[in-house]
Amino acid sequence: MAKKVLVVDDEMDMRIFVTTLLETNGYKPLSAVDGEEGLLIARKEKPVLVILDVMMPKESGINMYRQLRNDPELKEVPVIMLSALSKKTFFHSQKMLDNYREEQIPEPDAYIEKPAEPEELLEAIRTSLE
């Protein structure tokens, strides 16, 4: 059975692109429009990988990522962050949140800045699932 990969992005065009990329490469894509819906689906479907946007309405990718890492059942699932936000900004925000909340959240498995090249994203997906 094809491996389930969850795509969380509020941009419809981005969801269509990433799900097509997954589907044509033999995965079974699931999609969600924000962190809230993403968490619901992740808990229900137990995907093998999550591809997560950062800036979304309602629950942001930053929060969803931390919730995934704090969830006993999901904390081992690899996550690829895919965002227009620069890598530096994202890691900085994670560090600040770690300090502020006194947590130690591990870094995501990969961080890709948009716009993403299909090959680059595929490569990251394969590496994360090894």
Partner 1 sequence: MTAPGKEAYGGIPEGRTHSGDRDFLGDMGYRSIIDLLPCYVSVQDVNLRILFANMSFEKDFGSGVGRICHEVYKGTVERCPSCPVQRTFEDKRVHVSEEMVRLSNGERADLAVYSAPILDIFGDVKAVIELSGNITKLKEPQRELAFLGQSVAVLSHDIKNILEGLQGGAYVVDEGIKDGDMELAGKGWEVVKRNIGDITSVTRNILYSSKKRFLKRQNIHLGTLIGDVAVLFSERAKAIAAVLETKTNPSLLITRLDPSGIRRMLNNLLCNALEACQVDKKKHFHKVMVRTDFYDKTHVMIEVEDNGIGMTDATRKKIFEEFYSTKGDSGTGLGMLVVNRVVEAHGGRIELLTARGKGTTFRVILPLR
- Contact set with partner 1 (CB under 8 A): 11, 13-14, 16-18, 20-21, 24, 57, 84, 114-115, 118
Q: Name, in order, each residue with C-beta under 8 angstroms of 80's C-beta and a sequence gap of 6 or more.
A: 49, 50, 51, 52, 108, 109, 110, 111, 112, 121, 124, 125, 128
Least distance (Å) between residue 13 CB and partner 1: 4
Q: How far apart are CA 85 and CA 88, in angstroms?
A: 8
Distance CA 33, CA 37 (A): 7
Phi, psi of 10 (to 5 degrees): -80, -15
- Nearer residue to partner 1 within complex by CB, 11 or 71: 11
Q: Which is nearer to partner 1, 46 or 87 (CB)?
A: 87
Measured from the CB atom, is 103 or 115 closer to partner 1?
115
| Distance of closest approach, residue 90 Cβ to partner 1, in angstroms | 16
Minimum CB distance to partner 1, residue 33 (Å): 8
Closer of 30 and 77 to partner 1 (Cβ): 30
